[in-house]
């Protein structure tokens, strides 16, 4: 008897132009386009195995070895249903194909990064889920097509279908058919770019991204200014900077957009605080590091960015990473450089 099984992994991505706000919460359509860099280290991935079998009477899911309920009508159920719909199209065109779309599917997903890394796993998780089902169902879909489905699992997941530099275009269609991810440039285009992850705290965040961003959409006047008058220009500027490997512009826009995302969180009623005192200290350290470089006639040497939590990601050319690690460790001596020299995982006590 044939075994129908596929295993695929997907990476984490960290946004430089932040996604924050939905215009359609069911289809997960954003209020603005966003752009991220995929972190391609082997130790920052979700790996998912999907198996279809005529003996499986329902779809089931295990996350890091623990079974999770697939809520009917929820995001996971939507992604599975969409992938089965694409498989059905293949089966209808070719009647000799096995009817995998009628079988139950069992899905097991694991993250190889420690929970202590403080990184959101929904992006890599849903990207790996959709990719593994595409492999299982032998679908001809390309990454942008798959991003339309991963997006419905978690918005930021659509960007993890590609490596390198990735834009999620907000799109205009009411059905979401043009709200997808595209590759701006592959990793190899700018291999000198590195990311340093500084774990300030691995506590679960107080306000989830999903509920936080909707509160922002409903209450923040600053968000309206951001989506109309700020992000469209920044998307153009950062894409050009990436294509020209212009780190100075890339860094300036990345830090500005992180700052504005957190300003928009603060402008929410009631306000949302994701950064803490350590996060702000790291901003001060990077700012001073850059100020000295510019004062000496140079250009920006590092860019911080913060997501919906206190942990810093610092983008920098490879040649600066060692200096930045030493600088941060001099302020936070309890921080422990992780096994990968380009990731710094501070442990308990840093926060
Ligand atoms: C981003 N974040 O662009 C932004 C920056 C956090 C701050 O995408 O509701 O987990 O699942 O679509 O994708 C976090 O939001 O939210 C996020 P849902 P998601 O990476």
Is residue 61 one of the residues assigned to a domain?
yes
- Name the pTM for this structure: 0.94
Strand partners for 50: 6, 107
Is residue 216 one of the residues assigned to a domain?
yes
Q: What is the pLDDT of residue 351?
A: 21
Same domain, 154 and 231: no
Q: Is the CB of 28 under 6 A from ligand 1?
A: yes
Q: Is the CB of 46 under 6 A from ligand 1?
A: no
Same domain, 160 and 66: yes
Residues 138, 145: Cα–Cα separation, whole Å: 14
Task: Look at ligand 1, atom 9, and give the residue with the nearest C-alpha.
Answer: 210
Q: What is the pLDDT of residue 113?
A: 75
The answer to whether the complex's ipTM is over 0.95 is yes
Strand partners for 128: none
What does the H/E/C string look like for 275-326?
Answer: CCHHHHHHHHHHHHHHHHHHHCCCCCCCEEEECCCCCEEEEEEHHHHHHHHH
Q: Which of 140, 161, 189 is the endpoint of a domain? A: 189
Per-residue pLDDT tens for 277-335? Answer: 999 999 999 999 999 999 999 999 999 999 999 989 999 999 999 999 999 989 987 77
Same domain, 232 and 245: yes
Same domain, 216 and 329: yes
* CATH number for the domain harbouring residue 114: 3.30.230.10
Q: What is the pLDDT of residue 115?
A: 61
Strand partners for 63: 66, 109
Q: What is the pLDDT of residue 336?
A: 67
Residues 231, 267: Cα–Cα separation, whole Å: 17
Is residue 297 one of the residues assigned to a domain?
yes
Residues of the chain with pLDDT under 50: 339-351
Same domain, 8 and 97: yes
* CATH number for the domain harbouring residue 253: 3.30.70.890
Q: Is the CB of 308 under 6 A from ligand 1?
A: yes
Q: How far is the CA of 20 from the centre of ligand 1 (A)?
A: 6
Same domain, 262 and 331: yes
Q: Which of 140, 173, 189 is the endpoint of a domain? A: 189
Q: Which of 171, 189, 207 is the endpoint of a domain? A: 189
Is residue 220 one of the residues assigned to a domain?
yes
Total domains in the fold of the chain: 2
Dihedral (CA of 218, 309, 239, 164) sign: negative
Select from 155, 170, 279, 312 the residue to mutate for testing ligand 1; criterion: most ligand atoms less than 8 Å from CB: 155
Is residue 351 one of the residues assigned to a domain?
no
Q: What is the pLDDT of residue 140?
A: 83
Same domain, 267 and 309: yes
Is residue 179 one of the residues assigned to a domain?
yes
Could you tell me which residues come within 8 angstroms of residue 345 by beta carbon, excluding any fewer than 6 positions away? Answer: 116, 117, 197, 198, 199, 335, 336, 337, 338
Same domain, 206 and 308: yes
Same domain, 234 and 184: no
Q: How far is the CA of 260 from the centre of ligand 1 (A)?
A: 15
Is residue 20 one of the residues assigned to a domain?
yes
Same domain, 254 and 107: no
Same domain, 211 and 314: yes
Same domain, 182 and 220: no
Is residue 350 one of the residues assigned to a domain?
no
Task: Look at ligand 1, atom 20, and give the residue with the nearest C-alpha.
Answer: 15
Residues 87, 138: Cα–Cα separation, whole Å: 8
Q: What is the pLDDT of residue 117?
A: 59
Per-residue pLDDT tens for 167-207? Answer: 999 999 999 999 999 999 999 999 899 998 888 876 666 78
Q: What is the pLDDT of residue 199?
A: 83
Structural domain for 299, as ranges = 193-345
């Amino acid at each position: 008897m044939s075994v129908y099984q596929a295993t695929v992994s997907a990476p984490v991505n960290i946004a430089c132009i932040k996604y924050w706000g939905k215009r359609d919460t069911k289809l997960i359509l954003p209020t603005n386009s966003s752009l991220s860099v995929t972190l391609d280290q082997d130790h920052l991935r979700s790996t998912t195995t999907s198996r279809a079998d005529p003996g499986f009477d329902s779809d089931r899911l295990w996350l890091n070895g623990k079974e999770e309920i697939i809520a009917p009508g929820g995001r996971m159920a939507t992604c599975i249903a969409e992938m089965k719909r694409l498989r059905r199209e293949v089966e209808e065109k070719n009647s000799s194909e096995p009817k995998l779309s009628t079988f139950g599917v069992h899905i097991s997903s694991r993250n190889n990064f420690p929970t202590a890394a403080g990184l959101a796993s929904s992006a890599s998780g849903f990207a790996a889920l959709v990719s593994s089902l595409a492999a299982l169902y032998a679908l001809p879909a390309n990454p942008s097509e798959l991003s339309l489905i991963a997006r419905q699992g978690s918005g930021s997941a659509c960007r993890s279908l590609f490596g390198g530099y990735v834009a999620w275009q907000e799109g205009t269609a009411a059905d979401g058919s043009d709200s997808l991810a595209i590759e701006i440039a592959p990793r190899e285009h700018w291999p000198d770019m590195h990311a340093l992850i500084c774990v300030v705290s691995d506590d679960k965040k107080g306000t989830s991204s999903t509920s936080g961003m909707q509160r922002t959409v409903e209450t923040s006047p600053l968000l309206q200014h951001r989506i109309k008058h700020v992000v469209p220009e920044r998307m153009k500027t950062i894409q050009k900077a990436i294509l020209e490997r212009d780190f100075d512009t890339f860094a300036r826009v990345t830090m500005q957009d992180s700052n504005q995302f957190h300003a928009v969180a603060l402008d929410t009623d009631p306000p949302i605080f994701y950064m803490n005192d350590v996060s702000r200290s790291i901003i001060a350290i990077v700012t001073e590091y850059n100020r000295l470089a510019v004062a000496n006639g140079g250009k920006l040497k590092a860019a911080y960015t913060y997501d919906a939590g206190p942990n810093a990601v610092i983008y920098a050319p490879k040649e600066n990473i060692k200096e930045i690690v030493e600088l941060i460790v001099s302020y936070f001596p309890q921080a422990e450089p992780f096994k990968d020299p380009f990731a710094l995982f501070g442990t308990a006590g840093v926060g």
